[in-house]
Amino acid sequence: MIRLAEDLAALSHLCADSPFGCQILSAANAYGLHRPFAQFWTDETAAYSKLDGVMRICGTITDSEEAAAFLRAVGAESVVCTPENAAALGLTILAQGVVLVKDLPPATEAGHTEVPLRQVYDVLKSCDMVGDFEPFYLDLSHRVRHGTAACRCEHPQGQAAAVSIAVYGEACSLITAVAVRPEFQRQGLGTKVLRALENRLSGRVYLLRAEDKNERFYASMGYKPCGAWCAARI
């Protein structure tokens, strides 16, 4: 039976080592379990989180009828999950790709480094990777302040040209964006900004690579396929 998550420990147990679990736990640790815009649920085999209409599912759906009815009842607009869970729910897949993983040594950097989020946004916007500024800023700034996300930015010639972002789970992290302004691409900045972010991370790191996108780049950085992801419509 799907029910509201009552404590972070139960949520963490279901999300311990998963890219989708990183997304869920980053939001839960930043916002807590009792905000109307950030909601969390669990059953025996899966965890669910809804933030700004997007539902993320970690684990395995065992009762597809109950889960499909639940998604409709809570007003989820789209879902990010494994293709297997999307198929069990009968969802229409909008985008998909490969889950990549890399195991990092202990972090070489610690503490908080201030990164102007307006600059991060501008780089992502130049690559068509983000929507409106206000929701992006409110969410990422809150997560950074609460230690559940980190950013890096490269500034050749004094201009923000490349950015990377990661969110933290409990036992792993998820890199959610690596972007380079079009006019600065093919200058090694993607490698540089990703390395800078990796210096802040340790242990297992996941990344959701879009289908047929940047395959050689991430392979050269040591990331290996370990599964699949999809974004789907209810």
Q: Give pLDDT tens digits for 21-65.
A: 999 999 999 999 989 999 999 999 999 999 989 999 999 999 999
- For residue 157, the model assigns a pLDDT of 82
Task: For residue 142, count other CB atoms closer than 10 A to its CB.
Answer: 15
* Sign of the four-CA dihedral 204, 59, 152, 110: negative
For the chain, list the strands marked E by DSSP: 3-4, 38-42, 46-51, 54-59, 78-81, 92-104, 149-154, 162-168, 172-180, 203-210, 224-233
Q: Give the span between the Cα atoms of 5 and 13, in whole angstroms.
A: 12
**Tens of pLDDT, residues 91-102:** 999 999 999 999
* Second-level CATH architecture of 101-226: 3-Layer(aba) Sandwich (3.40)
Q: How many CA atoms lie within 13 A of 126 on its CB side?
A: 18
Q: How many residues does the chain have?
A: 234
61 close to 79: Cβ distance less than 8 angstroms: no
Per DSSP, 224 falls in state: E
CA distance 137 to 121: 8
212 pLDDT tier (thresholds 50, 70, 90): confident
Domain with CATH 3.40.630.30 in the chain: 101-226
3-class secondary-structure state, position 130: coil
